[in-house]
Structure 1
């Protein structure tokens, strides 16, 4: 199955159309509403809670964008719904609340944040909520096992892999070589069979996404586009951009 046309029809607002200067924090309801108003598709992140809910948030821990501290995985959904984003009255929302807010008015690209531990509860919860949602949705993850879970549990859902050229910086130090190796050059592709690739813009062009796009028919998104040079690169090498920091 090829990725549907809606996936690349509109620029994708990274974590919503956020702007801290205007009091709009990434992944909060206001950022989602701003993207809908701007007629953009929307990328969001989801995290697993202690009680198996999927909450819309990028970081593993509270504190960078919100009040409080501690890992989301150690808190319940009820506790996290009470957490305000810094300098705003808005609270963290669950994925079902996200769907209620969007209500099919924009395409959603949902990134499953992973602890690379083989736990598939987050994918299962997303799919449970998706069962009653009618709007356009795609799901992706850096973790090939999460993408494989999507393929096995919901083969008709548009799925993708978030990727970059190398995984040797400090952010990926938590993974061992056996975990990182399948991620390099999309080696997992025949197993996960993604419909699209979301690739780091500064790593384009690169052989692996070129092969995925031109030989296997995957759509190619580029993340995260912030500058005019990056936008030009995305236009040349990708089918659509995931952007932030400006309004296309």
Structure 2
């Protein structure tokens, strides 16, 4: 089953890690950034990491240093401790759980959720984060879609929640950039798992939108999202191919 991506994900610009702005005490993936995105009427993209007690937390990095000033992997602390760990340059609030964010958004804007790779090399050692995510989403009302770079994760999401739209996050896969073996990059670059995952869309690296595989998927009717746009000029260029953008650092225009 390949559930359709709701139209809202194609018509409303999506704020990357929510509408974050450190100068205004809104760190990425924070409650304040999410509230600002809702108020501005943007869709919201967030990232999920797993805690030691198998809870889904809204946090991008594997190590907490950059975002909290406290070193160590977020996977090695429980959810309660994560929620009490304040984000740097914010309003004092801690790392939100997925449940926190779902309660806050409450279906008011589209929510695009990226599950970060838990295997370490885009392999099959996954499952706990996917299960935690699906548990949290039970009963949620509102436009939501799930995605991951790891195709094994997307396949698992298809098994656990066949009705929720899901996509594969894709890029040019340069080994030195992605810190992955060349063989893994060569395999994933061609987006070979799209059909196996019964994916509904891709979210592709904006600078690589000219890739023939992207054009092939677009020609077959697959929605193309892209990341990360940082100026109106980049947005205009990306929209020649992409159906919608994930943006940060400026305010994307709403469609008329």
Check whether TM > 0.5. yes
Following superposition, the deviation at residue 56 of structure 1 comes to 0.2
**TM-score after normalising by structure 2:** 0.92
The match for 2:226 is 222
Question: d(CA) in 2 for partners of 1:50 and 1:100?
Answer: 23
Q: 1:67 aligns with which of 66, 69, 75?
A: 69
Aligned twin of 1:84: 86
Could you tell me how far 1:140 is from its partner in structure 2? Answer: 0.3
TM alignment of 1:166-205, pairs within 5 A: 166-170=173-177, 172-173=178-179, 175-177=180-182, 179-205=184-210
2:243 is the alignment partner of 1:239: yes
RMSD of the alignment, in Å? 1.3
Please point out which of 134, 152, 166 is paired with 1:127.
134
In the alignment, is residue 115 of structure 1 matched against residue 118 of structure 2? yes
Match of residue 54, structure 1, among 28, 53, 56 = 56
Out of 154, 158, 165, the residue aligned to residue 161 of structure 2 is: 154
- Unpaired segments ≥5 residues, structure 2: none
**SS across alignment from 1:124:** helix
Q: CA deviation at 1:155?
A: 1.3
1:3–1:218 CA contact under 8 A, matched in 2: no
Question: Contact 1:114/1:143 (CA < 8 Å) preserved in 2?
Answer: yes
How far residue 87 of structure 1 moved from its aligned partner, in angstroms, is: 2.5
Q: Deviations over 1:146-201 (max 9, x none)?
A: 0111111111110011111223224x22x335543431110112211211110111
**What do residues 64-101 of structure 1 show as CA deviations (whole Å, max 9, x unaligned)?**
12131100111110111111011321111100011011
Instruction: Please give the alpha-carbon distance, in whole angstroms, between the structure 2 residues aligned to 1:153 and 1:178.
Output: 29
Q: How many pairs align? A: 245
Please state whether the residue corresponding to 1:189 is helix, strand or coil. Answer: coil
- Do residues 144 (structure 1) and 151 (structure 2) align? yes
Instruction: Tell me, in whole angstroms, the C-alpha distance in 1 between the residues paired with 2:194 and 2:27.
Output: 34
Alpha-carbon contact 1:35-1:42 (below 8 Å) kept: yes
- Which blocks of at least 5 consecutive residues in structure 1 are unaligned? none
Q: C-alpha offsets along residues 128-148 of structure 1, whole Å, 9 cap, x if unaligned?
A: 111121111100000000011
Matching residue of 2:97:
94
CA distance in 2, matches of 1:9, 1:20: 27
